[in-house]
Structure 1
Amino acid sequence: MRTNKLLITFLRWPIISRVLLIIFLIIIFFGSIIHLIEPENFPTVFDGIWWALVTTSTVGFGDYVPSSIAGRSLGMVLILFGTGFVTTYFVTLAATAVTNQNSFLDGKMKYYGDKHIIIVGWNERVRIIIEQLIKLDSSVKILLIDETLKENPNPKYDIHFIKGNPTVDETLLKADINHAEMVILTADQSKDEQQADMLTILTLIAIKGLNPDAYCIVEILAGHQVNNAKRAGANEIIETNHISGLLMVNDVVSHGMSDILVTMLDQLKGSKLKYIELSKNDVGMTFQYTSSALLKERIILLGVKRGENSYINPPLSYTLEENDELLVIKD
């Protein structure tokens, strides 16, 4: 009974591990036997194992050679039997390496890791996101899910690619969604706005169902779908069309504003637009006082976030309260 269990366990091992174990046992067995047959030519078991190893690998240094009929017969069996297993091992190893490489490129290989960023959908925006994230932190772990790509679009960045439908559990589990730190959902602009947003929200529901703690940044095209995205569990919502519209209006009113806004948002330039927590010393202070204090630290105060509302350039007498967040440009 115990023997059967061991056999079943052995058969469940990867084929490379099984072949390697068999080769290891063959070398030890034949090395020990040749030591017993010709102790004068093979003074120690280690010498016998060395001979068996160089024989099965077809290197054949010739430093240890059997001289008796029994020893040479054993050598013939080792060459016929052991070399076949060694050849099988290396062929299997090479085939597995090629298969894994192809699986990686084709998006069929499961991801094993944690605290990675999953990006759903491939488009020009995603290419920019990936490049910027890697420039900010070269150690960042990024996984891309897309159903339309034939192979990994960015193998040079060592981005793990999963080909599949992001609304299906099988695809998300292959991407190790349970251990993902963040998910970025981009809209499929090959579809109309309604279909693209519905697909995004459906994907969001699938993700939150498997990992409620994943921080999800969602791109929504139609404004009336924002509430549905919030109900589905989106942590942040980016209304692409709304932002583009506002940017164009700013350009109409003040020419050249788009370049300035892009520079402000470009974190690689050294200026980060971000929220910072209000210090205890600034609670009860005015917007003007806090702005002047932050300027001494090379921090530009733009506005205040209070709860769900944000106030850009509020009155100078605006009083700051506990739990407020400050919108700043910070080096």
Structure 2
Amino acid sequence: MNLMISSVISSFKRFILAKILAIVLGIVIIFGIMIHLIEPETFPTIFEGIWWAIVTAATVGYGDYAPASFVGRIVGILLIFLGVGLLTRFFAAISTTSFVTQNAYIEGTSTFTGKKHIIIVGWNERVRETISLLHTSGSIIDIILIDETLEKNPNPENHFHFIKGNPTHDATLQQANVKHAEMVLITADQSKDEVQADMITILTLLAIKGLNPTIYSIVEILTTHQVNNAKRGGADEIIQTNRVSSLVMVNSLLSHGVSDALLAMLVDLKGCKLQFIEANLDLIGMSFQKTSETILAKGNILIGIKRVGEIIINPPLSLEIRKHDELLIIKK
């Protein structure tokens, strides 16, 4: 309901602005024609009459044209009074509309109308870094941030659209134009305990998939036993934050300095350098070693394969590539 009211108000403001502009243009044209008909010697063409009307209504007063007759001067006086009032109202309407639009953008009440955008649910330091890295990677895709706790756009200079609202509500998702979104990233709410945070994440996922079943969804899950529920909810990718952190910690304990190396590798791989590609017909039946050499000759590095949903990193060199295998490569 709030979304519908906001849309109606926005449309009404645009209508009022267009109406005032049309009235101003109409008055300028009418007075331009009138002064040409009253004083054809002073204003030999309609265009010159309209030029005088514009200059007079705007109270600029260049003095290149001026009515000489009594009637012409009366027309000029009327135009000045009308011009001051209408133009003042017109520019005031523009200023008000710009102010309201800017406030709506900052406060998260404006509706996004673009398509093929990314929706990110939840605001935290990870999201701040994610958006920053997306921008530095050269991505030009629109980013929409949905968060219920923020009072205003946390970083309006970073060029992302903020929407304040509950991401499990249809009105909020429609405000983000979820039906035309390409991807969604749902982050865990760290202000809640892990079980509750996962429940909210899955509920948000279900709400989004209900409105856009084809959207590519990436969700952050904190507890292992909720992973299957996220899959049942339609998650295309699941990021198990706690598991990832634990693996980094274990590797750091067993081999000092690994965390720095992993971070450096991940930073270097930003911007789609780590990709899955489908094995083409030329590679089917070839060993992993031979496939690796073929891909390396093109400047890319083969590090694993994805087979029937299972990812195998650094498999045996003799492993044969099969049809429908996906190759995990680092692009040059």
Q: Distance in 2 between matches of 1:111 and 1:220?
A: 27
1:226 partnered with 2:227: yes
Q: Which residue of 2 aligns with 1:264?
A: 265
The number of residue pairs the alignment matches comes to 322
* 8 Å contact kept, 2:137–2:270: no
* 8 Å contact kept, 1:301–1:327: yes
Q: Distance in 2 between matches of 1:112 and 1:17?
A: 21
Identity of aligned residues (%): 56
Q: Which residue of 2 aligns with 1:188?
A: 189
User: SS state of the match for residue 41, structure 2?
Assistant: coil
Deviation for aligned residue 1:11 = 7.7
User: SS state of the match for residue 251, structure 2?
Assistant: helix
Q: Which residue of 1 aligns with 2:111?
A: 110
* 8 Å contact kept, 1:172–1:207: yes
- Deviation string, structure 1 residues 41-86 (Cα, Å, up to 9, x no partner): 1111111111111111010111111122211111111111232111
Could you list the runs of 5+ residues in structure 1 that have no partner in the other structure?
A: 1-9
User: SS state of the match for residue 19, structure 2?
Assistant: helix
The 1:260–1:270 alpha-carbon spacing in structure 2 relative to 1, beyond 3 Å, is farther
The letter for the 2-side match of 1:280 is L
Q: Distance in 2 between matches of 1:281 and 1:210?
A: 41
* 8 Å contact kept, 1:287–1:319: yes
Deviation for aligned residue 1:22 = 0.3
Deviation for aligned residue 1:268 = 5.5
Q: Distance in 1 between matches of 2:272 and 2:75?
A: 74
Q: Distance in 2 between matches of 1:108 and 1:271?
A: 33
Q: Distance in 2 between matches of 1:299 and 1:57?
A: 65
Q: Which residue of 2 aligns with 1:68?
A: 69
* 8 Å contact kept, 2:137–2:271: no
Deviation for aligned residue 1:312 = 1.8
Q: Distance in 2 between matches of 1:321 and 1:269?
A: 29
User: SS state of the match for residue 282, structure 2?
Assistant: helix
* 8 Å contact kept, 2:218–2:237: yes
Q: Which residue of 2 aligns with 1:304?
A: 305
User: SS state of the match for residue 282, structure 1?
Assistant: coil
User: SS state of the match for residue 19, structure 1?
Assistant: helix
Q: Which residue of 2 aligns with 1:95?
A: 96
Deviation for aligned residue 1:148 = 1.1
- The TM-score normalised by the length of structure 2 is 0.92
Q: Distance in 1 between matches of 2:301 and 2:66?
A: 82
The letter for the 1-side match of 2:72 is G
Q: Which residue of 2 aligns with 1:253?
A: 254
Deviation for aligned residue 1:159 = 0.9
Could you list the runs of 5+ residues in structure 2 that have no partner in the other structure?
A: 1-10
The 1:228–1:112 alpha-carbon spacing in structure 2 relative to 1, beyond 3 Å, is same
Q: Which residue of 1 aligns with 2:175?
A: 174
